[in-house]
Amino acid sequence: MIAIATLWISVLLIGGGFALDRVLTDSLARNFDSGLEYVLRAMIRSSEIGPDGEVRLIEPLGDQRFLEPYSGLYWQISGGEQEPYRSRSLWERSLRVDKGHVDDQLHSYDSRQFPDEELRVLERNVLLPGSKVSWHFQIAQSREALDVQIRAVRGTLIPGLVLLGVGLIVLAALQTFYGLWPLRHIRRAIAAMRGGQQGRVTAPFPLEVQPMVDELNALLAHNEKQAEEARLHAGNLAHALKTPLTVLVNSATSSNSELAETVRREAATMQRQVDHHLARARAVGRRGAAQARAVVWDSVGSVSRAVAALYPDVRLDATGDKTLVARVERQDLDELVGNLLENAAKYGGGSIFVTIQRDGNMAEILVEDDGPGISPADRVRVIDRGVRLDSGKPGTGLGLAIVRDVAEIYGGSLALEESEDLGGVLVRLRLPAG
């Protein structure tokens, strides 16, 4: 940032300084030329043609320098066959005349015709009354006075621009240094958190930096919550497996003749617990992916085809918003919808109707069946882990519990209601909409 500011300030000041220098030097040159032009006009007004046809001045020019040899101020009139009529200040020298060049208008230029003196020359051709000759009037003055003025202007302009540039660069550097200073505080705070000295970035920061600090603290809180959930899941899984393992060990060390049946039963219990906690762990791990998106209609369609293959006698219909997107991983959405449709096919009467709709910032999936339904008293209890109201059908009793837990991890919910159209259960799954 400092390097870019330095480069930009330098470019602007150099370009601006060059333009300002041209304006000032041109102004000084015009003022210098206007003084010479005044003298040239005075020469023309004082000139006349004598009896012999030669030009002469009827009034001497008032500047004393025209009488002093090599004074730096000169005039000359030339034309025809006459020798150049010139000021005493030229002494034995003459101003150069380009005979092939005619200046009907005022012409000014710099000349180095005198080795020791650079001149500023103004000239013009004039046809005087009573003469057919075009007389060439010239006025010249040493550039020394003009160059002194230009050097004085540049002596003030260049140091001033340099000082201004240095001041702007120093200001930009200080602004950058102190503007980024809060980031150094954040770096030290993160190092302190890594060293265990503090848990959050708590120091007050400017308004421009505070939103980033808030997001950083929110990320830390999110990671801590995920770590705590992981520890909780590990503890729950260990606790859930502890009892079946104890039963297996006791059965294996005793002379129980029902060891095989005990192993199958307890192994099935452990498998249910492992499936449940793995589903939660996958959902927790994917929740942090902000780019997680899934089209609900596509998920319902693919799961419906799988359920139809397993339960060919069940009729399944779907309607609703085909473009609705849920902020859920597609694999998790398939598992959620699969559990709901499989339960409806298993415990319903043969008809399933799925509705996909948007409610505010939530995507809703309504699954209705024509089964016997669930009483209001059992609707909360049946979602609990391992609870089954119909023990005559195969299952683990973890399907709805998994759906509820995974939905809540993503910020959604699961509710059981009564279907007004089919008379069975209406399962309302809500997930954040994309």
Which pLDDT tens digit goes with each residue over 169-203?
Answer: 999 999 988 888 888 888 888 888 877 778 888 87
Q: What is the pTM of this model?
A: 0.49
Cβ distance 106 to 127 under 8 Å? no
CA 357/CA 365 separation, integer angstroms: 7
pLDDT for residue 293 = 85
- Which three-class secondary structure state does DSSP give residue 340? helix
pLDDT for residue 134 = 87
Give the DSSP letter of residue 433.
B
**Token pair for residue 166?**
């240095």
Cβ distance 316 to 347 under 8 Å? no
- How many other C-beta atoms lie within 10 A of the C-beta of residue 143? 20
CA 400/CA 61 separation, integer angstroms: 117
| Helix 259-287 vs helix 330-347: crossing angle, to nearest 10 | 140
Closest CA relative to residue 351, chosen from 400, 307, 389, 391: 307
Sign of torsion over alpha carbons 168, 169, 170, 173: positive
pLDDT for residue 233 = 66
pLDDT for residue 256 = 60
CA 267/CA 261 separation, integer angstroms: 10
pLDDT for residue 388 = 43
* Structure-derived torsion over alpha carbons of residues 300, 410, 287, 291, reported in degrees to the nearest 10: 60
Closest CA relative to residue 369, chosen from 355, 351, 346: 351
Please report, in tens digits, the pLDDT of each residue of the chain (434 residues total): 899 999 999 999 999 999 999 999 999 999 999 999 999 999 999 888 888 888 888 888 888 898 999 999 999 998 877 888 889 999 889 999 887 778 888 999 999 999 889 999 999 999 888 888 888 999 999 999 999 999 999 999 999 999 999 999 999 999 988 888 888 888 888 888 877 778 888 878 888 888 888 888 888 888 888 777 776 666 666 666 666 767 666 766 766 667 677 777 777 667 666 666 666 666 555 554 446 789 999 999 999 998 888 888 999 999 999 999 999 888 889 888 998 998 899 888 889 999 999 999 999 999 999 988 888 878 777 776 544 444 444 443 346 887 888 888 888 999 998 888 888 899 999 999 98
Closest CA relative to residue 397, chosen from 272, 275, 292, 293: 272
pLDDT for residue 396 = 37
Closest CA relative to residue 429, chosen from 405, 410, 404: 404
pLDDT for residue 158 = 93
pLDDT for residue 358 = 93
CA 412/CA 434 separation, integer angstroms: 13
